[in-house]
Structure formats: structure tokens, C-alpha cells
Amino acid sequence: MIDLDNLVLTEPQIKERIATNFKKRRKEHKISQKKLAIKSGVSFGSIKRFEQTGEISLSNLIKIAQILDLEKDLLSLFNTPYFENIEDMLK
């Protein structure tokens, strides 16, 4: 039997995972935090804090995501429809 309690992440875990994923994408693009700050107009401190804590404003997240061509990732948030049952899904 699957323990569903272990599938639910806490807010800090979600923020950590988002920050870790973003940092990986930034490094794949071979761009430093400082260079990202210059290109995006988001302060170096904000980028550093985001990668360490997951804390960032939505506006700044959009700005840095655009530099790394990650807009599609942001636009896919909350895009999955909710279905109460299989019949609703098949409609």
C-alpha cells in the first residue's frame, strides 16, 4: 500500500526543490549568478537568496526565467485540470 502522507511535500521542501531545479538550469546555460543579475535586472542578492532559500518575488522569478528560456515551465504551473472522477475526465 502506498503511504500518501510521504507524497505531500511541505512548503520548505517545495521551495528547496524549485530553487535546486532552477540552479541546475542556470548552470546548464553556463551563466553565473552575477551575469544573470545583469541580464535580468534582478539583483545579485535576490538571485543568491532564491537559490539558497527558494524565496523570490513572482516578478523576479519571471525575469530570471525569461533569460534562461524557462517561460514554458512557468506557464505550465497549475495547468493540469482537476477531475473528481473518471467520467469527468472522459468528457
Question: Is residue 83, in this structure, part of any structural domain at all?
Answer: no
More confident: 59 or 1 = 59
88 located within any domain:
no
Domain count, the chain: 1
Query: Is 82 a member of any domain?
Result: no
Phi, psi of 11 (to 5 degrees): -55, -50
Q: Is 37 exposed, middle or buried (0-12, 13-18, 19+ CB in 10 A)?
A: buried
Contact criterion met (CB below 8 Å) for 44 and 31: no
Contact (Cβ atoms closer than 8 angstroms) between residue 43 and residue 37? yes
- pLDDT value of position 63: 98
In a domain, 51, yes or no: yes
Domain of residue 23, residue span: 9-74
Residues 64 and 52: their CA atoms lie apart, in Å, by: 15
Q: What SS3 state is found at 40? A: helix
Read off the pLDDT of residues 31-78 as tens digits, 9 standing for 90 and up: 999 999 999 999 999 999 999 999 999 999 999 999 999 999 999 988
More confident residue, 5 or 10: 10
- Whether 16 is in a domain gets the answer yes
Residue 44 lies in a domain: yes
